[in-house]
Amino acid sequence: MKILVTGGSGFIGSHVVDVLLAHGHEPRIFDIVPSPYITPEQVETVVGDLLDLETLRAATRGCDAVIHLAAVSDVNDVVRDPSRAELVNARGTEVMLEAALLEKIKRVLYASTVWVYGGAAGEEPLDEDTSLVPPAHFYTATKVAGELFCHSFDELYGLEQTILRFGIPYGPRARASTVVAQFVSRALAGEPLTVTGDGAQTRQFVYVEDLAEGVVAALAPVAAGRTYNLVGSEQVSVRQIAETVQDLVGNVPIVHVDDRPADLRSSAISGERAERELGWRLETPFHQGVRRYVAWVKGIQDTPSEAAASRMAGSASSVPRQEPAEL
C-alpha cells in the first residue's frame, strides 16, 4: 500500500515510516520540514503546510490511506497558544480529511490520545466504548474535535476512518521537552529531577517502536470504522519515572515542586481490543524502554549531526512542529 504519513518527519511519524518500510508498504512523508532520519531519496517527501489544501491534496494523490499524526501536543504549548493548537489540531484535521475525500482515499487513521477519557465514569480500565465527557483541557478538546470530524466525514461521505488513542509515547527521537527525555538529560548532566506534586500521578507509557507497530497494524481491513487504545497495562507514576532514571543514569536528587496549571489527570485504560482485533500489544516494559532510550541518547552525544537531528524530532504539523500526545 502507498501511505501518506502527515508529520512523518517527527518523533512518532519517523518510526511509523520505518515500520511501513519494514512491512513492505510505500510511505510518503508530508511535513513542514524534511525528515532528519530518512532522505527524500529513500522515501518520497512533500514539504508543506497542513493548512494548505492544494499542497496536501498533491501529497495525498495516489495513496491508499493517510496516517494523520500531525498535531500540537505539548500541553504547555497548548496552554500558551490555544489558537495555534485549535488551528493545527482541529482545522488541520478537517483540511486533511477534505484532501483525502477529494483524492478518493480509502481510509484515514487519526492519532488521538487516551486523555479523551479524562473525567469519564465507569469501571477501570476504561475501554473504547466508555462514554466520554466534555474535556476539561483544551488540548483534549482539540483531539476530540478531530475524532468527531473523522466520524462526520465517514457518515456524510463514506470516508473510512480508524481512531487510534495513544498512550504516552517515549523512546529514541523524542523531543527534549518530554518527561522521560527531560529526566534523562538532567540526570546525565548531574542535575536534580523535578517532580510536580507528590509524583503519584500515573501515566500509561508506550515505547515508540511498539506504538508504530500498532499504528501500522491498524491498516488492516478489520480496523475500518473502529477505535483502538494503543496502550499497555503498566501504570507508571511520575515518581517511578524519576526513580527509573536514577537507577539507569545516576543517583541524582529528586525535587518536588507545586503541581503545574491545567495538568492532565489519567485513568487506567484498556488495550484489550487492539490485542484481540489487531494482534497488537505493548512488548517493551517501561524500565527496558528507558534503558534503550538512554543507550540511544549516549550513542548520539558525540555525533553532532545526529544530535542536531534529535533536536528536530518534534516535527509534525503545520505552523511549527509537534507530534501526538505526551505528558
Span 285-296, pLDDT tens digits: 999 999 999 999
Q: What is the mean pLDDT of residues 129-151?
A: 95
Instruction: Give me the torsion for CA of 140, 28, 215, 179, rounded to 10°.
Output: -50
* Rounded Cα gap, residues 128 and 94, in angstroms: 23
pLDDT range class, residue 85, cuts 50, 70, 90: very high
- In this prediction, residue 261 carries a pLDDT of 52
Range in 139-143, 194-198, 235-239, 308-312 the model is least confident about: 308-312
Q: What are phi and psi of 84, to 5 degrees?
A: -65, -40
13: CB partners within 8 A, 6+ apart = 5, 6, 7, 29, 31, 67, 69, 70, 315, 316, 323
Confidence of residue 264 (pLDDT cuts 50, 70, 90): low
Residue 305 has pLDDT above 50, yes or no: no
Each residue's pLDDT tens digit, 24-39: 999 999 999 999 999 9
Partners of 256 in beta bridges = 195
User: Does 319 have pLDDT greater than 80?
Assistant: no
For residue 65, report the phi and psi dihedrals to the nearest 5 degrees: -155, 160
**Res 314: pLDDT:** 37
> Which domains, from first to last, does the chain contain?
2-311 (3.40.50.720)
Question: What is the reported pLDDT for 200?
Answer: 87
pLDDT in tens, 155-188: 999 999 999 999 999 999 998 889 999 999 999 9
Q: Kindly report the pTM of this predicted structure.
A: 0.90
Dmax over CA atoms of the chain, in Å, equals 57
**Secondary structure letter of residue 167 according to DSSP:** -
pLDDT digits (tens, 9 = 90+) for 240-254: 999 999 999 998 999
Residue 304 banded pLDDT, cuts 50, 70, 90: very low
